[in-house]
Structure 1
Amino acid sequence: MACSRPEMLLYVELYVLLTTLLIAFLTVFGSWRRRSHSLKLRYSIWASYLLSTYLINYTMGLMKTATFRHDLFSVWAVFLIIFLGSADCISAYSLEDCENRKRYNLEVFVMYFWLGWLIGVHTQKFEHMIPLYLLYFLSLRRTGCRAKALELASKSYGLVRNTKLVADFMEDESNREGDEADPTCMRGYKYLVKGEKKAKVKVQAPHYHMQFETTEDPKVITIDMIWQCKGRLLSSTGDPDGRLKDICLSYALYRLLCRRFAKYSFPESSQLKTWNFVRYGLLSKEGDHERAFRVIEMELGFLYDLFYTKYPVLFAKGLPLLRNFEFIIVIFGCWVVVPTLIHYQEGTGDWYLATSSGRNLDALLTGVVLLAILFMEIVQFFVVNFSDWAKVQWLCYYVEKSSLQKNKCMEMIIRVICHRKLLKPWDRKLSQYSLLESFSHNPSVLLYNCCTSPYIDKPRNGLKLSAHVTLPTGVKKAIIHSLKTNGRTLTNGVASLQRNGVNVPSWASQLPTQTHVIMVWHIATSLCELNLSSQVIVTGEQVNHQRESEDFIVATKLSKYCAYLVAFAPRLTPDHPYITEFIFDHVVVEAREKLKGCEKSICQKMFNLCKDGRKKRISEKMLTIGQEGGDQEILVKGAKLGKHLIETIKENGQRWKILAEFWAEMMLFVAPSDDETAHAEHLAMGGEFVTHLWALLSHAGILKRDSAQDV
């Protein structure tokens, strides 16, 4: 049965309101997405991102098929398109969206076709049609920015084109003999920051490299120019801890890292000055581990923005002045429209809709949409103008223009902008997984069954995350200490064992794959932890002290993080991803066979009771398994190794020191990877600590394990 006019109008209004709220949610909370591991937030944003386009198309279809005219149809349609294109902080949900940019362009083309038709059909007065068409072209620009952002992030199109100049510049710089580089003052480090789009570029045979016509062009800002700037803002008194200069350094490093995604070479990786940049530049002082990870964290924030937001497009030609001008227009437009809505009483007869208090429902809905637009624009105005991209632009203007260096007022404005941090690029969390705690876990049958299998993948048995932990400072210190100690030579923990004079069974250092090494040592570390927990009450104070020690925290957290990578992120580990999954699945089977009777009971699963009793049973069972001989299974090897460490290293503190150094070395060994796509995908899910190490080692010239060289 066909809908009556009031019913049809009500349906349209409900869909307009729902779509508006979805896109507003997408826009505002998309800013927080990159720093959150929250599955609920990610799924909510995914639903908003996916449903918005379909709901807009459906709503416009309802308007088109309506048997009556309504002046506000065209207004609502314009608002919906403006909403769709105004989400600056999220242009794509996944990397596949960037590669499927042509599909998005086609969808937008269809929307704009129907939008133009709706404005022409449902706008009765010509004077109302003009502002609507102006908004039409405003929304066209905004959706065009999103299309441009998808194009820039496409690894098969925009990324390779926009990165070639940086790749050619770095290759030419690597081949050019110059003065001795000094990483403490960045002399000799010609890392591009900004300005190349204003400079004149030529193509030079025979290599057909893109080159600047004049290498001393003042418009081109390199990182050594930032450090040599004489302005008070960037001096030792104006910027004592170097945080402002480090913002530009992060941006320059981000541009260098883009070469890995575009599959360009890293010619400077073989140069000693590249290693010196990290060892004697970023890590020149004691305690510089915080600075190094702060720089890398901001760098990965820029990388996230490249793939998933519109910021690279907004700041492509400098500060987003046009975007800010649009913000002013929106504010002024809302102020002008509000009085009209207050006195709006259009609509008579059988299609007049009103609330119980007599207010016109059409005007009320339009007011809600206007408030949502206003709220969205205000939030985005501050997020965009206080973003790291804006800070880089201001600092580059400051270095380029000597007049700004003499203007105290401008220095104060730049300092205020650069010292405000609205969003963190990463929530600094370490995911954790413990095989001995989670081996008996089975996915929920209610959620994962034959009915849901076409839509969601069923997790493998034994996959249950432990609670995330905040990244401990001790972990960063231990990894940087290991990097300084071993230099560019990466080992999977063998060097730390030799340095500490630890004798382990020969098979423990000659395992077939790195997955074997990680899982065997993870099981051994977990057994040491369980043994510490089950020690007699007489030494309780000493045990508690050891559990709070920095070495204990480093060893256990990195052990569980590496096990998490094997279980949940095999593409970020050294071995083939499917081989890693296959081995892990069989280790779970082994654990279920060997540890029968140690599974969680129903009460434990529901109320988390008797945890200490279960841990004690597992510890005793594992120590018994460790006495067995002849087995080649990973679980048995882990039990034997754990028992060996407990028996041969009697002092708990020494044992945890050895394990902490082992896992710090292992973490660095795992980090190098050629699967840069996997790292980019995990940036959209909150980010991974191993990605920070991967970026850090890339800038130190360590791209592969087998090519790591001694200093």
Structure 2
Amino acid sequence: MAFFIKHVRWVVLRLNALLVTNAILMAVIAGLGTYGHHYRHHPLIRFLYLGAITLFLPIVSDVVSTIQNPYTITVYPKHDRVILSNCEADGHVFLVILWIGLVQIVGANTITIVAGDSREGRSIAPPAVQLVKAIWTSYLAYMMIESGLEPYGYNVKWSQDRQLSLLDILLLALPYALILAKLLFKYYAWYKASRSLAFGRNPRLIVGYMEKLQVGTHYAELTISEHDVPPPLIVMGEDTVLVEKQPHGYNLAGMNINNGLLTIDTVWQLDDTLLLWRSKDLCLAFALFKMLRCRFARYTINEAGFAKASNFIRHVLLEDSDDERVLGLITNELSFLHDYYFSYLPVTYSESWLPFLSVSISLSSIGYCLFVITFLVTTFRGYSALDYEQIYCHPVHCHPVSDSTYTFTSDSKAEVSFGRLLFDVLPVCLLGTLGVLVEAREIASYICSNWTKVALICGYVKHTSWQQSPMIRKCIGHVLHTRCKLLDRWEDKMYQCSILVLHPSRNPITLLRRILHLPDQKMKVPTAVKAAVLDVVRMNQRNKLGNNGATPRRLQVGSDLLWTFHEAKGAADAMLVCHVATSILEMTRSREQLPSDHEIVATHLSRYCAYLVACCPKLLPDDHVWCRSLYKAVKKDAGRVLAGHDITVSSSEAEHRRLVELLRARSKHQVLKDGAELGQRLAELPKGEEVAWKALAGFWTEMIVSVAATCDNIDEHAEAVARGGELVTLLWALLAHVGSVDDDTATAAAATHGAPDAV
């Protein structure tokens, strides 16, 4: 008896551990896949996410294989003795089936679906393994229910005392129907989007349209003063036009745009109080997103037709004094790009009725999860789940009489129980809560999505009846003003790294960030940084400078030449030298003195460029392996030099000179020596500290604009968009639209990929 209890107790303990573990794994999947998409780029997070998805099916299969109906446990303690026990586990089996269904509901919303062009190389169909898991778990649940059927009837039961009601059967079967419906919906949406001219095949259409627009319309003859209206870039309605095949994409059979094709100039010219400039800018960002997709499809700037939009961006938006409007336009454009490449929301807009179907399925899932939670709370109201055991067993002892005959003896009073039903109730309630949160976010993503707003604006522009209906105007106005920060795809923040750390922090969070090779900190992009960078872009456009004209070649204050670019081995080397100098100058400022705008620009961009060298070297024009090794070597040497020396951040000249002399004397790396020398020159300028900060601010703004213009690594910019955005990627997109991006990389990449496939 003791052996039997020990054996079954271990089985129940393992089963409960798997139930709780899988509920936690689903929480990880829901948190990372639905609410933590900005952090999924990190290798450790990807490992946890993939591990949670991989372990799901083995855990479910193991749990189901442990449960049998009727629950029969056979134990073989010795070769000559068998212990056979009949057990009852009605509530346990019922809750396990609910658990399996809720697990699938939570995990079904975390997949990414992309309907991309073959040139983009980013088309992602719904994973077949997800459908296989749903079918397999549905089969397992059916077998668990079917095993309780009476041999000659249709009444489902698991024990002599309890039969399954119709409500029980609906509770058990409904989640699997919802899962299959959601997965089939996603397969259909992807199929329609991948064959749509407005989604999967859109880059080829945009290239053909822009080519014809370049030579066939009156817009090319407009003067600069008439550029208050954007060119007729396509916003929506591509599926309504007739197209012809051509070597470089699709060619529109006619330029008649009255058959459903809506262009941005039509939206822009509509004089309506409902459509403020923010709504029109959102549609413009959507049109620019379509052109940016052509870049990711390896078309060159000329093929993608960037020149057609560059005049409007250059002469209207860049001349606008509202910096937030200019950057907000590009931010929305990259947000559309993020949604398209790293979620499954856009493919559901391939048909107008698909979003409504998706919301209906989500509402049904929310209703089911809430009903399950209410059902369990009502069932256990007034007493604790600790009062109920998971399994009741009646041991049956078997003694051998001969080689082929056994004598069975049973003691009906020897009833033992195992486990507590609380271990079933808590995971089910947790999964039900996660299901509600995941599906609620799904519905909110449709209501607050920019895709929905653009679709409503286009419908409003097309239908005169909508413009005349007060109710429709009110509803559209509410949607256009609705915003959810949780759904923001673009983080208005910049990472910061520093080489000279006088007093490194020892708290657990800092140590964890170092182990995971994360940046030192992340902060909101200051307004002064945005204004300074846009001023450089405007100045270069007015002077008609290309990307080379923006490259900082020297650091000079009046006639005092402090440093030239030729002294560095490359862009990364120059960044680190000037970063060390900026850090040294920053340490001399009094803590009571508020930093000026020039200092804010210089220090933030300095630490941001150090972050690019350390963590994102592929966004720089230098070799990324060399950049990363350079940063590690300089960082290690700086830590060695500063170790054991108590240098305080002070405005005193003695502390500043002590730091400079220490770096000059003990540094092995030339970057630290050059940086210390440059920092000393900046601090000793007779014209004052503010002049030095102004020179550094000008240098860093030109440096970041130069990096954005010269690095056209499409894949790395896509990775930056996936993790929430980079300032250099934002500038890259802006410079591409004004015609200041070096196109050599894209041309080489297009040549590598070859000509587009035949359509």
**Interval of TM-score (by shorter of Structure 1 and Structure 2):** 0.7 to 0.9
CA distance 1:582–1:72, shift in 2 (3 Å): closer
Tell me the distance in 2 between the aligned counterparts of 1:152 and 1:257.
Answer: 22
Determine which of 724, 730, 740 is the counterpart of 1:686: 724
Distance 2:189 2:559 in 1: 53
1:482 positional shift: 0.6
For residue 693 of structure 1, report the CA deviation from its aligned partner. 0.9
Which string of whole-angstrom CA distances, capped at 9 and with x for unpartnered residues, describes residues 123-151 of structure 1? 44586768866643431243356678999
The whole-number CA distance in structure 2 between the counterparts of 1:592 and 1:177 is: 62
For 2:406, the equivalent position in structure 1 comes to none
Alignment partner, residue 411 of structure 2: none
* Secondary structure at 1:687 match in 2: coil
More strand by share: 2
Mapped partners of 1:480, 1:304: distance in 2: 23
- Pairwise CA distance, 1:15: 3.7
What corresponds to 2:658 in structure 1? Answer: 620
> Cα RMSD over matched residues?
4.6
Relative to structure 1, is the Cα distance of residues 163 and 100 closer, same or farther in structure 2, using a 3 angstrom cutoff? closer
Q: Deviations over 1:644-689 (max 9, x none)?
A: 3344452222221121111111110011322222222233333221
Q: From 199, 206, 209, give the equivalent of 1:169.
A: 209
Cα distance between partner residues in 2 of 1:291 and 1:678: 26
Aligned partner (choices 268, 276, 292) of residue 326 of structure 2: 292
Aligned: 1:420 with 2:482: yes
Q: 1:32 to 1:464 in 2, by over 3 A?
A: closer
**Contact residue 100 and residue 137 of structure 2 kept, 8 A:** no
Q: Is the 8 A contact 1:20 1:80 kept in 2?
A: yes
Contact 1:496 1:665 in 2 (8 A): no
Which residue of structure 1 aligns with residue 702 of structure 2? 665
Q: Report the Cα offset of residue 51 of structure 1.
A: 0.7
Distance 2:578 2:247 in 1: 52
Aligned-partner SS, 1:671:
helix
For the 8 Å contact 1:15–1:55, the answer to whether it is kept is no
Tell me, yes or no, if structure 1 residue 312 matches structure 2 residue 317.
Answer: no
Q: Do the aligned partners of 1:518 and 1:562 also contact (CA within 8 Å) in 2?
A: yes
Partner of residue 478, structure 1: 532
Distance 2:490 2:248 in 1: 40
Contact 2:113–2:125 (CA under 8 A) maintained in structure 1:
no
1:234-633 map, 5 Å: 234=275, 239=276, 242-267=277-302, 273-286=308-321, 288-318=322-352, 320-333=355-368, 342=378, 349-350=392-393, 366-423=428-485, 424-437=488-501, 465-487=519-541, 488-491=545-548, 501-504=558-561, 507-509=564-566, 511-530=568-587, 532-533=588-589, 545=593, 548-588=595-635, 591=638, 596=641, 598-599=642-643, 610-612=648-650, 617=655, 619-622=657-660, 633=670
Relative to the length of structure 1, the TM-score reads 0.78
Give the corresponding residue for 2:229.
187
Residue 225 (structure 1) shift: 1.9
Q: TM-score, normalised by structure 2?
A: 0.74
**Partner SS state of residue 325, structure 2:** helix
Question: Is the Cα–Cα contact under 8 Å of residues 264 and 284 in structure 2 kept in the other structure?
Answer: yes
Q: Using a 3 Å threshold, how does the CA distance of structure 1 residues 140 and 654 change in structure 2: closer, same or farther?
A: same
- Which structure is larger by alpha-carbon Rg, 1 or 2? 2
C-alpha distance 105-403 of structure 1, shift in aligned 2 (>3 A) = same
Q: Does 1:215 align with 2:277?
A: no
Task: Describe the shift of the 1:377–1:562 C-alpha distance in structure 2 as closer, same or farther (beyond 3 A).
Answer: same
Is 1:196 paired with 2:238?
Answer: yes
State the match for 2:100 in structure 1. 77
1:490–1:442 distance in 2 versus 1, CA, 3 Å:
farther
Deviation per CA, 1:355-397: give whole Å up to 9, x if none.
98xx787567545543442343234322332122221221121
Q: Give per-residue Cα distances to partners, 1:609-649, cap 9 Å, x unaligned.
A: 94549996565342586799xx9933333333333334445
- Unaligned 5+ runs, structure 1: 93-97, 449-455, 534-539
Distance 1:682 1:321 in 2: 32
Aligned counterparts of 1:422 and 1:216: Cα–Cα separation in 2? 34
Structure 1 residues 312 and 46, CA, compared in 2 at 3 Å: closer, same or farther?
Answer: farther
Q: Where do 5+ consecutive residues of structure 2 fail to align?
A: 71-92, 115-120, 150-154, 157-165, 381-387, 395-415, 747-759
Give the letter for the 1:225 counterpart.
T
Q: Which residue of 2 aligns with 1:453?
A: none
Deviations 1:500-555 (A, max 9, x none): 6454267544533112221222222223323x33xxxxxx6xx955x511011111
What letter matches 2:611 in structure 1?
Y
2:269 corresponds to: 228
Deviations 1:182-228 (A, max 9, x none): 7986635232222223x144223465524355531442222222212
1:280 Cα offset (Å): 2.0
Q: Aligned partners of 1:332, 1:271: CA distance in 2, in Å?
A: 48
2:113–2:343 contact (8 Å) kept in structure 1: yes
Residue 590 of structure 1: how far off its partner (Å): 5.4
Q: Which amino acid aligns with 2:626?
A: I
CA distance in 1, matches of 2:297, 2:550: 32
Match of 1:536 in 2: none
Distance 1:261 1:145 in 2: 27
Amino acid at match of 2:250: H
* Shift in alpha-carbon separation, 1:355–1:653, aligned structure 2, 3 A: same
Q: Which moved more, 1:488-497 or 1:696-705?
A: 488-497
Give the 3-state SS of the residue equivalent to 1:315 in structure 2.
helix
- Once the two structures are aligned, what percentage of the paired residues are identical? 25
| Contact 1:521–1:641 (Cα < 8 Å) also in 2 | yes
* DSSP 3-state at the match of 1:232: coil
1:109 pairs with 114, 132, 135, which one? Answer: 132
1:37/1:557 Cα in 2 relative to 1: closer, same or farther (>3 Å)? farther
* CA distance 1:121–1:613, change in 2 (3 Å): same
Is the contact between residue 193 and residue 251 of structure 1 (CA under 8 Å) also seen in structure 2?
yes
Equivalent residue letter for 2:546? T
Name the amino acid aligned to 1:193.
V
Q: Deviations over 1:330-372 (max 9, x none)?
A: 345457667765459999843998998xx78756754554344
CA distance in 1: counterparts of 2:227 and 2:12, whole angstroms: 67
CA deviation map 1:451-471 (0-9, x unaligned):
xxxxx9978xxx784433321
Closer, same or farther: CA 268–284 of 1 in aligned 2, 3 Å: farther
Rate the CA distance shift 1:140–1:591 in 2: closer, same or farther, 3 A: same
**Distance verdict in 2 for CA 1:67–1:588, change over 3 Å:** same
* Pairing partner for 1:178 from 212, 218, 232: 218
Question: For 1:402-434, what per-residue CA distance to the aligned partner results, in whole angstroms no more than 9, with x for missing partners?
Answer: 211111221221121111221233332221222
Q: SS at 2:569's partner residue?
A: coil
In 1: Cα distance, 2:306 partner to 2:714 partner? 22
Cα 1:383/1:616, change in 2 over 3 Å: farther
* Structure 2 residue identity aligned to 1:281: V
